[in-house]
Amino acid sequence: MDFSFSDDQRLLRETVARFVADRYGFEDRTRMMAMPGGRDPAIWSEMAELGLLGLPFAEADGGFGGGGTETMILMEEFGRGLVVEPYLSAIVLAGALLQDAATAEQRAARVERIVTGDLRLAVAFAEPRGPRYTVDARETVAVGDRLTGEKIAVLGGDQAQELIVSARTSEGSTALFFVDPASAGVTIRGEAGYDGSRVATVTLHDVAAERIPGDGAAHLSRAIEAANAALCAEAVGAMAAALDLTTEYLKTRKQFGVPIAAFQALQHRAVDMLMQLELARSMAILAAASLDRPAAERTANIAAAKAHVARASRFVGQQAVQLHGGIGITAEYKVGHIFKRLTAIETLFGDADHHIDALTDLGGLAA
């Protein structure tokens, strides 16, 4: 199978890599995280100017018609730079819901504004009680088109101009709704997550909402698969950055008068990191290529990819920190921040155990 990129895809990689290199040095990222909201608003506008915000949307809706491979390319470069903008939530996750579930009128009212950077969405589906990693709304309820409940760990929720919220209907099913966060009855409490990304708790009390048609749980499951494919690619970029920093450190750090890269045991650990990185890269390609496959095959492939990438992320992150010694856990050094992001990716939208269980329930990968 040919895994080489097209000319347009190579140009996209070059464009995103240059953008990250120019605007996302480690000191720049540290400065942005200290700003109100944990990010620099100018960066989102620059992403819009480069066309990155319209990448996954259909051309008929005003986007650029990119697919899983294009999102993979972008997210890998974002992973290298530890980009903190809410691209995963506002573009990948919310974008998948708009594409799959929203009506033509609902998309027309939003996609163009998203592409120009004038509208950011966030998806609120996790609840404080109940099973982990479920897409079924339990405690957030819809009475007609009015919602009451609480959502937690809403990625980018305190920066969104509109929310997509899941709620349990009177029929017992899960439905999706557009909610204006400025509406009466909405309270949003934002904070920095473990890895520096922004998360929010959203409380709703008898809030007016606009329903999105269809089976909300099914649409959420499909969107989360797209988000997990993107996370696999982001993890590959972060692991590659960790490996680059680690090998450079081994070459420059001296012990007993020689670089510690001369010690065979440390060479073997670096090689183990490289092997896990390349295996994870293969699984990220599988996940991206599976987004347009039939449902059962897509779900199984992405579950397998996320399970492997989650474990590889833990291994590479831990090895990078250990091989750096004490400097690896300091806030002033990038490796510690990479480790935190990889730890977050490991559990976001399902950890390895969750996806292995899901894969087992599906009967494993197709032959």
Helix axis angle, 264-290 relative to 216-252, nearest 10°?
160
Phi, psi of 178 (to 5 degrees): -85, 135
- Please tell me the predicted confidence (pLDDT) of residue 366: 63
**Local confidence band at 130 (pLDDT 50, 70, 90 cut-offs):** confident
- Judged against a pLDDT cut of 80, whether residue 314 lies above it is answered with yes
Give me the mean pLDDT over the 164-173 stretch: 96
Answer whether 80's CB lies under 8 Å from 239's CB. Answer: no
Partners of residue 123 on adjacent β-strands: 164
The single-letter code of the amino acid at 220 is L
- CATH fold match for the domains 7-115 and 218-361: no
Task: Report the CATH number of the 218-361 domain.
Answer: 1.20.140.10
**Local confidence band at 365 (pLDDT 50, 70, 90 cut-offs):** confident
Question: Can you identify the CATH homologous superfamily of domain 7-115?
Answer: Acyl-CoA dehydrogenase/oxidase, N-terminal domain (1.10.540.10)
Return the half-sphere exposure (C-beta side, CA atoms, 13 A cut-off) of residue 123: 29
Give me the mean pLDDT over the 117-127 stretch: 97
Range 121-214 has CATH code 1.10.10.10: no
* Residue corresponding to tokens 């990119």: 66
In terms of C-beta density within 10 A (0-12 exposed, 13-18 middle, 19 or more buried), how is residue 50 classed? middle
CA distance 124 to 122: 7
- Judged against a pLDDT cut of 70, whether residue 1 lies above it is answered with no
- Please tell me the predicted confidence (pLDDT) of residue 199: 95
Give residue-wise pLDDT tens across range 263-303: 889 899 999 999 999 999 999 999 999 999 999 999 999 99
Helix axis angle, 264-290 relative to 295-324, nearest 10°?
160
Give me the mean pLDDT over the 36-40 stretch: 86
Domain boundaries, the chain: 7-115, 121-214, 218-361
- Please tell me the predicted confidence (pLDDT) of residue 325: 86
Tokens at 333, concatenated: 């050094």
The single-letter code of the amino acid at 164 is I
Give residue-wise pLDDT tens across range 250-259: 998 878 878 8
The mean predicted confidence, pLDDT, of the chain is: 94
